[in-house]
Structure 1
């Protein structure tokens, strides 16, 4: 399935940029990837899945940067590279600390822009999107309006950010309550969420064989659990379902990484182009490419995925 996009450009990627964050116990390490040319560049702030880091998601980050976006990736405290002990007092709040990482990046765009040679003056700060995979999808969702029922305060936490204008959620957890396993209900109360206030325009991407890695034991439901962010949130405009894809969605976590159990370069290529077109549409840059995606997917004789919209 061929979906055309604009010509790619060389990119520059700078790591590890350090943002001071004494309240989090250690500074926040960030990677910034950007095309070497062009101005008025829209921004994507990307949240990795549990255990990953700023080193991950090359198939997405490299593509987005080569096609006109500045991509900013933090390393959250749950990363294997941080190696936080399970009994660390920060562990129960990691869901919130992840969102705080993303907000810190938004607060420090001047610093990050200056840290990348040749990037100064080229950012379009009126066009900022967020994206995240798995646990990172919930993190991105918080910025879009998803609310977590905080077990400490017994209230729904509104951590949305008006600077974020669009989002993409990859293989992201659905609602909590009866959908959770007893293990998840006891150990991951942050999975009790409400999508009712997630009003920022967003795209949800799922695999129809995503039963979530068994070791996490999150839900009593099947892959349809991951579609909740689309069906239950007013801002989710479209849902891309990949046929046969598992939690790695064909291989987005990285090049040849062990987490990929369903390697499918064709699906990854589709994700690259669909997300690129969607973000350009949602950020009001170009609408023709998104319209073409709809047409191509609907007319394909043997599609590898299905795109539906509200």
Structure 2
């Protein structure tokens, strides 16, 4: 796929803009072992810009997810992309003492980004004073979606099924979860043994969210089929919407990067739909009165050959 940073189709009234970015912006991270590196992208013009913190999937980095980050920035968001400890760019060995807690370090990375929003804002020339610190969303893909869901109110269950720490963040007003892993009861034997943190509960995930799943996303981590990736919608308290993409596998058409090798179901049209609907959802969720989400949902429903189906609360 080509880079659509300044040429993507615009949803409703949010016209695309040129994008400026800075990377890496390094945030000191005492106790983490490695300082946190972040990419900051934003439209070159405009003010009162809402924020999206984007958590990458396993092995990726601040350089990934261009189809999402570029589109969101071109359509009025400041996009912050931290590089988590599991990134291939850091090459942590399997026996690194931080490995068992990487899931928790990931969540702490997202907190650190929000805590140092002023530093990240100042790192991009011309961005200072243009960011709306009261309108913040989180998003993530795969493991990144689980990380983001913690800030929305999801919790990790311990071995006895008791909810772990409440890691929700009141600063976050909305989220988008791409291919978020489902309930731990349906983990494969390998995942049960090696990924004990992958036991989420969505019962307290009350922050509005859009869950995006592919109807051909068959994971080796689960004994269930693709519907495993819809659990965040099914088991949350009714605050989520669900976009099911027809024919989509785990990369949902290629959201993880331009020409990414791990994309097994490349579909520019599917990615464009994800871009449009996620952008409309986040603008409307963070700005009450914005009608873009309703218009986008209506357009999908009216499409004679839709690429997906939408279920709203």
TM-score computed with the length of structure 1 as normaliser: 0.95
In structure 1, the residue matched to 2:246 is 243
In structure 1, the residue matched to 2:312 is 309
- Asked whether the 8 Å contact 1:145–1:200 carries over to 2, the reply is yes
- Structure 1 consecutive aligned stretches of length 4 or more whose deviation exceeds 3 Å: 1-5, 150-155
In structure 1, the residue matched to 2:237 is 234
Which structure 2 residue ranges, 5 or more long, are not aligned? 1-8
Q: Go from structure 1 to structure 2 and tell me whether the alpha carbon gap of 1:97 and 1:2 turns closer, same or farther (over 3 Å shift).
A: closer
- Asked whether the 8 Å contact 2:11–2:280 carries over to 1, the reply is no
- Asked whether the 8 Å contact 1:229–1:236 carries over to 2, the reply is no
Q: Go from structure 1 to structure 2 and tell me whether the alpha carbon gap of 1:164 and 1:205 turns closer, same or farther (over 3 Å shift).
A: same
Q: Go from structure 1 to structure 2 and tell me whether the alpha carbon gap of 1:5 and 1:245 turns closer, same or farther (over 3 Å shift).
A: farther
CA shift for structure 1 position 22: 2.1
User: Over residues 166-196 of structure 1, what are the superposed CA-to-partner deviations in whole Å (9 max), with x where a residue is unaligned?
Assistant: 000000100102x011110111011111100
User: Over residues 222-264 of structure 1, what are the superposed CA-to-partner deviations in whole Å (9 max), with x where a residue is unaligned?
Assistant: 1000000001012542100100000000000000010100000
Matched, 1:29 2:32: no
1:210 to 198, 204, 217: 217
User: Over residues 133-162 of structure 1, what are the superposed CA-to-partner deviations in whole Å (9 max), with x where a residue is unaligned?
Assistant: 000000000000000124699751211100
For these two proteins, the number of residue pairs brought into alignment is: 305
User: Over residues 21-54 of structure 1, what are the superposed CA-to-partner deviations in whole Å (9 max), with x where a residue is unaligned?
Assistant: 1210010000000001001000000000000000
TM-score computed with the length of structure 2 as normaliser: 0.94
Which structure 1 residue ranges, 5 or more long, are not aligned? none
Matched, 1:201 2:202: no
| 2-structure distance, mates of 1:154, 1:201 | 24
| 2-structure distance, mates of 1:110, 1:294 | 34
User: Over residues 6-29 of structure 1, what are the superposed CA-to-partner deviations in whole Å (9 max), with x where a residue is unaligned?
Assistant: 321111010001000121001000
- Aligned with 1:95: secondary structure? helix
| 1-structure distance, mates of 2:178, 2:161 | 28
- Asked whether the 8 Å contact 1:32–1:70 carries over to 2, the reply is yes
Matched, 1:108 2:111: no
| 2-structure distance, mates of 1:201, 1:260 | 28
